[in-house]
C-alpha cells in the first residue's frame, strides 16, 4: 500500500471562473480628492491596544500609495512609528495637536475629535 499525504493547504481551488479573488480587477477604484476638499478627523485612542496610546487620523479619500507616502511623512514629522490601513493612519503616541497643525499646512481641513 502506498501512503498518501493529505494536503492541508487552504488554497485548493477546484474551479474558479474569474481567476483569483485577490486580483486587482476586483478592487474598487478610489476617487482621490484634493486636500482642501477632505475633512480629516484626528483622535487619540487607547482601546484594544493594551494601554498604549495611538493617534488615529481618519477620513482620507486617497489611493493606497498616496496614503502610505503621507503616513511616512506624518511619522517622520512626529518622530514615531505607525501604519496606514483602511483609509486611516495610526501614529504611535499622543501627537494629535502636532498632526492637526501639519495636516493644516498641507491643505487638509483637520479637526481634533474625542476627549
Q: What is the pTM of this model?
A: 0.71
- Exposed, middle or buried by CB within 10 Å (0-12, 13-18, 19+), for 42? buried
What is the extent of the structural domain holding 98?
A: 30-112
| Total count of domains within the chain | 1
The reply to whether 18 falls in a domain is: no
Dist. CA 17–CA 60, nearest whole Å: 34
The reply to whether 84 falls in a domain is: yes
The reply to whether 66 falls in a domain is: yes
The reply to whether 9 falls in a domain is: no
Residue 89's CB is within 10 A of a number of other CB atoms, namely 26
> For residue 78, what is the domain's CATH number?
3.30.780.10
* Span 50-102, pLDDT tens digits: 889 999 999 999 888 999 999 999 999 999 999 998 889 999 999 999 999 99
The reply to whether 48 falls in a domain is: yes
* Span 8-41, pLDDT tens digits: 556 677 776 766 655 555 566 667 888 888 899 9
- Exposed, middle or buried by CB within 10 Å (0-12, 13-18, 19+), for 43? middle
Amino acid at each position: 500500500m502506498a501512503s498518501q499525504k493529505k494536503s492541508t493547504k487552504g488554497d485548493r481551488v477546484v474551479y474558479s471562473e474569474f481567476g483569483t479573488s485577490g486580483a486587482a480587477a476586483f478592487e474598487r477604484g478610489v476617487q482621490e480628492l484634493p486636500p482642501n476638499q477632505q475633512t480629516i478627523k484626528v483622535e487619540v485612542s487607547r482601546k484594544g491596544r493594551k494601554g498604549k496610546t495611538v493617534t488615529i487620523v481618519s477620513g482620507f479619500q486617497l489611493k493606497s500609495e498616496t496614503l502610505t507616502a503621507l503616513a511616512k511623512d506624518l511619522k517622520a514629522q512626529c518622530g514615531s512609528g505607525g501604519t496606514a490601513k483602511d483609509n486611516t493612519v495610526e501614529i504611535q503616541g499622543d501627537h494629535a495637536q502636532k498632526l492637526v497643525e501639519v495636516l493644516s499646512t498641507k491643505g487638509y481641513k483637520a479637526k481634533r475629535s474625542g476627549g
